[in-house]
Amino acid sequence: MDILTNKGNGILTITFNRPDKKNAITAAMYQTIADTLKSAETDKEVSVALITGRPEIFTAGNDLDDFLKNPPQDTQSPVYQFIQALMHFTKPVIAAVCGPAVGIGTTMLLHCDFVYAADNAQFSMPFAKLGLCPEFASSLLLPQIAGYQRAAEKLMLGEPFSAQDACEMGFVNKVLPVAEVLAFAQAQAAKLVVLPTSSMKATKSLMKGKQIPAVEAKIIEESILFGEMLVSNEAKEAFIAFFEKRKPDFTKFK
């Protein structure tokens, strides 16, 4: 299974499990996570969701081959359902990140309540490098969390940055050794499980509730532009170069 799910002791664990493809996410994987979160929303046996990957990789982001064959067309697309399910999940969400977290592997963390990263974690949002634009409201949330200049550096250059850098920016809570990060995240989840669910939901709603309309509006704005840019000459060159394992040449589009 490319997505593993496990429920026990009040914790729902969702694990990226496609190591041969660096945990690259397909439409089917997005659908599985979306359905799992939707079900967990009303499941009284689930108090906390924990999202993780493998010790060597969190996720390489979208599976580009699958993404180009099945581009998101509307609000019924699996990736959009995943975005909505994570954004509107009322219970605490914890992420335990080891290794690279690329593209949506990073932007999804902006919607989690706790993010714990291993010292081998590496984050990147290479949308602009692919001739695209930010997604999942990252153009709104990252400047709020990290400040405009740092967000501009990460979103415009798209270069990888370390777990320590992410922690200093404010969207990673703590950096730990690889062997300790999952256990630490599980221990934090266990602390939340024994607390009143109503208190957790109320606290999360108070912190995030008023911002949800702005986040949803930004997601729609980004999605429209993303769809337009996806068929641009720059994006086509970026994807062809990716599959041909070479650097893209954008000079002819200046």
pLDDT value at residue 56: 98
pLDDT value at residue 127: 97
Q: What tokens appear for 144 in the block?
A: 């709020």
Domain locations along the chain: 3-179
User: For 173, what's the count of Cα atoms within 13 Å in the CB-facing half-sphere?
Assistant: 15
Residue written as tokens 């062809």? 240
pLDDT in tens, 189-214: 999 999 999 999 999 999 999 999 99
Note the pTM of the prediction, 2 decimals: 0.97
- Provide DSSP, 47-92: SEEEEE-BTTBSB--B-HHHHHHS---STTSHHHHHHHHHHT--S-
In the predicted structure, residue 68 carries a pLDDT above the cut 90: no
Cα distance between residue 213 and residue 211, in whole Å: 6
In the predicted structure, residue 254 carries a pLDDT above the cut 80: no
Q: What tokens appear for 154 in the block?
A: 């990460």
pLDDT in tens, 90-116: 999 999 999 999 999 999 999 999 999
CATH number of the domain located at residue range(s) 3-179 in this protein: 3.90.226.10
pLDDT value at residue 252: 84
Q: Mean pLDDT in the chain?
A: 96
pLDDT value at residue 125: 98
pLDDT interval class at 76 (50, 70, 90): confident
Identify the residue with better confidence: 81 or 72: 81
pLDDT in tens, 121-179: 999 999 999 999 999 999 999 999 999 999 999 999 999 999 999 999 999 999 999 99
Q: What tokens appear for 192 in the block?
A: 């939340």
Could you tell me where the DSSP H helices lie in the chain?
27-41, 64-69, 78-87, 104-107, 138-146, 148-152, 163-169, 178-193, 197-208, 212-230, 233-243
Strand-pairing partners, residue 176, are 118
